Structure 1
Amino acid sequence: MKTVKGPGIFLAQFIGTDAPYNSLEGLAKWASALGYKALQIPCNHPAIFDLEKAATSQTYCDEVTGVLAKYNMVISELSTHLEGQLIAVHPAHDVAFDGFAPAAVQGDYTRRTEWATRQVKLAAIASQKLGLTAHATFSGSLAWPYLYPWPPHNPHLLEEAFNELARRWLPVLNTFDDNGVDVCFEIHPGEDLHDGVTFERFLDKVNQHIRCNMLYDPSHLHLQHIDYIDYIDIYHSRIKAFHVKDAEFQVNGRSGVYGGYQRWIDRAGRFRSLGDGQIDFKTIFSKMAQYDYDGWAVLEWECCLKDADTGAREGAEFIRQHIIPVADRAFDDFAASDNQQASILNQLGLNRGI
């Protein structure tokens, strides 16, 4: 068995304009002081991490790893959540997501999609240069506006949506395969890959591609009322990245899974800092150890109540306490008996004849 690596921290919610949150070194020093061992780095902040340079310069990649090494830190994964989102955007979301792209391609669906696809491919190359084996992203969504079957369920529309999603992602998956890196789609409402069934459907469309994997975040499953423990039993072989994020669902008579268009703090389902929600992390970390999960446990902080710095500080210790240092031997090894054939036959009484 393998011990889960961690704790790591996803930087997306912490990058800012003031020190220490405005530079990679400042963030590394800050995170290290809190007890983190790895950073998951988004690729949409060139001042923090320059994806173009990383994909073309081994020297730059070595400089980045050197900066982190000063604080006993490494990179867990790169992230292209926003860029992955832009690979497949339904017209209903076109304006809302346009700001994820640079001004030069905003308002031009074709150029924006090409830009996003190129960025994610660059992340594959950069990941290889950095010695990484997994990458975090979103799938994007063409079918999400048709989530609930009204108008009535249209199987042909959904079939075409997943055919197109696969067509757009196959070249990207192949680029990641060329670089020996797994694509880990975060299973997330708002994405076409938002549960196990949709992941399986996409996996079939990309011919069970070896690089098509998932980022496991129990909070998004819990808020959909999916058994997030059974999910690990089913999909553990495809789980290659792990966001440690807490959530709670408070059943009430006014709103439910869809949230009633309310702010997060007012929804029945909402994200919480680690230990403040309902997620059973003891069982999750046990399952990860049981199935030899070989990646990082990475905090993603999104809480509707608690201060971010407090959530980050508490999160490092929470993850550290939940990581199970796996045993290198069975507890009952001391009582093991002789495995010689003669002894085995003797124990079974098979050396006495019939």
Structure 2
Amino acid sequence: MKTIKGPAVFLAQFMDSKPPFDSLDGLCKWAADLGYKGIQIPTWETALIDVTKAGESKTYCDELKGKVESYGLKITELASHLQGQLVAVHPAYDIMFDSFAPEEYRNNPKKRTEWAIEQLKSAAKASRNLGLDIHGTFSGSLLWHTSHPWPQRPPGLVEMGFKELANRWIPILDVFDEQGVDVCYEVHPGEDLHDGVTFERFLKATGNHKRVNLLYDPSHFILQQLDYIAYIDHYHEFIKMFHVKDAEFNPTGKKGTFGGYEDWIDRAGRYRHPGDGQVDFKTVFSKLTQYGCDVWAVMEWECCIKSPEQGAKEGAPFIKSHIIQATEKKFDDFAGTQTDEEELKRILGV
């Protein structure tokens, strides 16, 4: 077993144009003052990191790492969710996802995808330069619009979709492999990797690429009504990142999983601050500890009710209270005795 590391915080949702949320120094001091021990850095936030430069310069990474550590923090992982999304975008979503890329790549899906792929490759090298061996991202999606099969999907469509997705990711995964860094896909509604079955499809399509791993976030499974505890039993060997985020699902006679195009606060399934939703975090932390998942517990704020300020303040003690110090001894060791093979035989009566 391993003791989960933490608490840490994902900085993405806290970025702002006002101090202390507009700079790495400001966010580091803020996080440290709240009791966090680590930060997860979104690579699309250029105020925090120049991921291209980080992939090219060990000196730049040493300075970045030194700055973070001067506040008593560690960089837990880099994350590239927005760039990962752009590796595979169905044309129906082009306009809305264009904002994820710099202006010069908008209205040009081919150039946008090429930019995203280079960003991911830089993130692999940047992770290695920072001494990190895991990285979080999204898979992107070519098939999501067919998730509810009406009209019915033509034979071979799903297989072709995952083959194409894998073809786009394998060169990226190979760069991560060269750098000794695992890619942890956040299994998420809207992505082609949105549950266990789709993760397995992708893993198979990549030829079981050894760098394909998982970022575990139970909140996404509450919204899908998937057993998020049994999921750990199935996939614990792949879980190398962990977002501590809550959710709740309260269907009515008027709305359910699909949400009725409502805003988040009015949906049957909605994200909540850790402890305010339906996730059984005691069991989650127990399972991850039992299986020896070597992860940082990273708080992600995406609550539709509680403010980010309150969420951040409550997040560190919430995680700290759930971290289990893995035992190195058995509780009944005091009653044990030394035995030899002959005594074992006598106990068995053989």
After superposition, where does 1:18-97 map in structure 2 within 5 Å? 18-97=18-97
Q: Does 1:188 align with 2:191?
A: no
> Is the 8 Å Cα contact of residues 140 and 192 (structure 1) preserved in structure 2?
yes
Aligned residues with identical type, % of pairs: 57
Q: Could you list the per-position Cα deviations for residues 117-156 of structure 1 after superposition, in whole angstroms to 9, with x for gaps in the alignment?
A: 0001100000011111110100000001111010013232
Q: 1:129 corresponds to which residue?
A: 129
- In the aligned structure 2, how far is the partner of 1:170 from the partner of 1:349? 57
Give 1:97 deviation, angstroms.
0.2
- In the aligned structure 2, how far is the partner of 1:310 from the partner of 1:338? 54
The one-letter code matched in structure 1 to 2:191 is E
- In the aligned structure 1, how far is the partner of 2:267 from the partner of 2:309? 23
Q: 2:310 corresponds to which residue?
A: 310
Give 1:344 deviation, angstroms.
2.1
- In the aligned structure 2, how far is the partner of 1:267 from the partner of 1:186? 22
Q: 2:219 corresponds to which residue?
A: 219
The one-letter code matched in structure 1 to 2:4 is V
Q: Could you list the per-position Cα deviations for residues 308-332 of structure 1 after superposition, in whole angstroms to 9, with x for gaps in the alignment?
A: 0100110111010001000011111
> Is the 8 Å Cα contact of residues 247 and 278 (structure 1) preserved in structure 2?
yes
- In the aligned structure 1, how far is the partner of 2:121 from the partner of 2:83? 10
Give ranges in structure 2 of 5+ residues lacking alignment. none
Q: 1:264 corresponds to which residue?
A: 264
Give 1:342 deviation, angstroms.
3.1
The one-letter code matched in structure 1 to 2:270 is R
Normalising to structure 2: TM-score of the pair? 0.98
> Is the 8 Å Cα contact of residues 338 and 344 (structure 1) preserved in structure 2?
no
Larger CA deviation: 211-220 vs 336-345: 336-345
- In the aligned structure 2, how far is the partner of 1:157 from the partner of 1:42? 33
Q: How many residues align?
A: 350
Give 1:243 deviation, angstroms.
0.5
- In the aligned structure 1, how far is the partner of 2:69 from the partner of 2:227? 38
- In the aligned structure 2, how far is the partner of 1:231 from the partner of 1:132? 26
- In the aligned structure 2, how far is the partner of 1:228 from the partner of 1:155? 30
> Is the 8 Å Cα contact of residues 40 and 76 (structure 1) preserved in structure 2?
yes
Give 1:157 deviation, angstroms.
1.7
- In the aligned structure 1, how far is the partner of 2:347 from the partner of 2:337? 10
Q: What secondary structure is seen at the aligned counterpart in 1 of 2:224?
A: coil
| Segments ≥4 residues shifted beyond 6 Å | none
Normalising to structure 1: TM-score of the pair? 0.97
Q: Could you list the per-position Cα deviations for residues 99-128 of structure 1 after superposition, in whole angstroms to 9, with x for gaps in the alignment?
A: 110111111111110000000110000001
Q: 1:143 corresponds to which residue?
A: 143
Compute the RMSD of aligned alpha carbons.
0.9
> Is the 8 Å Cα contact of residues 241 and 295 (structure 2) preserved in structure 1?
yes
Q: Could you list the per-position Cα deviations for residues 170-223 of structure 1 after superposition, in whole angstroms to 9, with x for gaps in the alignment?
A: 001111111111100100000000000000001000011110011110000111
Q: What secondary structure is seen at the aligned counterpart in 1 of 2:79?
A: strand
The one-letter code matched in structure 1 to 2:91 is P
Give 1:345 deviation, angstroms.
3.0
Q: What secondary structure is seen at the aligned counterpart in 2 of 1:84?
A: helix
The one-letter code matched in structure 2 to 1:147 is S
> Is the 8 Å Cα contact of residues 251 and 257 (structure 2) preserved in structure 1?
no
